[in-house]
Chains A and B, each alone.
Chain A
Amino acid sequence: GEDVEQSLFLSVREGDSSVINCTYTDSSSTYLYWYKQEPGAGLQLLTYIFSNMDMKQDQRLTVLLNKKDKHLSLRIADTQTGDSAIYFCADPPGGGYQKVTFGIGTKLQVIP
């Protein structure tokens, strides 16, 4: 699988914006994804972006994609305590999810 790198930890105050960053190495995928893992649960799809797009907005979520730098970011506006979780980016290359590597993930802590 390809390499995915994310920062390990992010702490923000409730109401502030959070920005979670991801760098990847494989540029053959058509879609890039953000998954969220709440404590004691499996991962759930949060949002995704088509590789031809630079930005996608979905309510409080904004995904930015810089293909030249192979950089993906997730911005959460008005961060809530319910956003506390681990966030994973995923970049399934042309071979699909069987080739993807999930990184360690970024743990987001929201302080009330």
Chain B
Amino acid sequence: NAGVTQTPKFRILKIGQSMTLQCTQDMNHNYMYWYRQDPGMGLKLIYYSVGAGITDKGEVPNGYNVSRSTTEDFPLRLELAAPSQTSVYFCASSYTAGASGGELFFGEGSRLTVL
């Protein structure tokens, strides 16, 4: 079972460049999330989606955009990369919202460095 797949695993960007982090899940989950994890800072929610066509901002959305055209895919776009976006990015999905017993399934992460 593939679960949640993220690509690329590693990327180095120059300041001002754009890129898209890809995320796909094969579990038919409605809910998908993007987190960033910085050293000593824990996980911060960037954007989330409760279903195809519906997205909303999380705690730290500035500098990012998302789309959810299908249930399976939830790409995260960085338009003008900045050093502050150097981080490890995790995509996750869940069948339910979590308050009623749902598990979050995480991808393996994408390590992004902006120089």
A residues sitting closer than 8 Å to B (CB atoms) are 1, 28-31, 33, 35, 40-45, 48, 50, 88, 90, 92-98, 100-105
Asked if A41 and B33 make an inter-chain contact with CB atoms under 8 angstroms apart, the answer reads no
**B100 interfacial contact with A, CB 8 Å:** yes
Asked if A98 and B33 make an inter-chain contact with CB atoms under 8 angstroms apart, the answer reads yes
Asked if B58 and A98 make an inter-chain contact with CB atoms under 8 angstroms apart, the answer reads yes
**B43 interfacial contact with A, CB 8 Å:** yes
Instruction: Decide if the interface of chain A is mainly helix, strand, loop or mixed.
Output: loop
Q: How far is the CB of B37 from chain A (nearest CB, A)?
A: 9
Asked if A96 and B96 make an inter-chain contact with CB atoms under 8 angstroms apart, the answer reads yes
**B40 interfacial contact with A, CB 8 Å:** yes
Top 8 closest pairs, chain A to chain B, by CB: A96-B97, A42-B106, A97-B98, A92-B98, A102-B43, A104-B42, A98-B48, A45-B103
Asked if A45 and B104 make an inter-chain contact with CB atoms under 8 angstroms apart, the answer reads yes
Asked if A96 and B106 make an inter-chain contact with CB atoms under 8 angstroms apart, the answer reads no
Asked if B41 and A104 make an inter-chain contact with CB atoms under 8 angstroms apart, the answer reads yes
**B108 interfacial contact with A, CB 8 Å:** yes
Asked if A42 and B102 make an inter-chain contact with CB atoms under 8 angstroms apart, the answer reads no
Q: How far is the CB of B47 from chain A (nearest CB, A)?
A: 9
Asked if A96 and B98 make an inter-chain contact with CB atoms under 8 angstroms apart, the answer reads yes
B48 partner residues in chain A, CB cutoff 8 A: 97-98
A30 partner residues in chain B, CB cutoff 8 A: 99-101
Could you show 26 A-B contacts with beta carbons less than 8 Å apart? A28-B99, A29-B99, A30-B100, A31-B99, A31-B100, A35-B104, A41-B108, A41-B109, A42-B4, A43-B104, A43-B106, A88-B42, A92-B97, A95-B97, A97-B31, A97-B48, A97-B99, A97-B102, A98-B56, A100-B98, A101-B42, A101-B45, A102-B35, A102-B43, A104-B41, A104-B42
Given A45-B103, A45-B104, A97-B31, list of 4 further CB < 8 A pairs? Answer: A96-B102, A97-B97, A101-B59, A102-B43
Given A48-B101, A95-B97, A98-B58, answer yes or no on A42-B92 (Cβ-Cβ < 8 Å).
Answer: yes
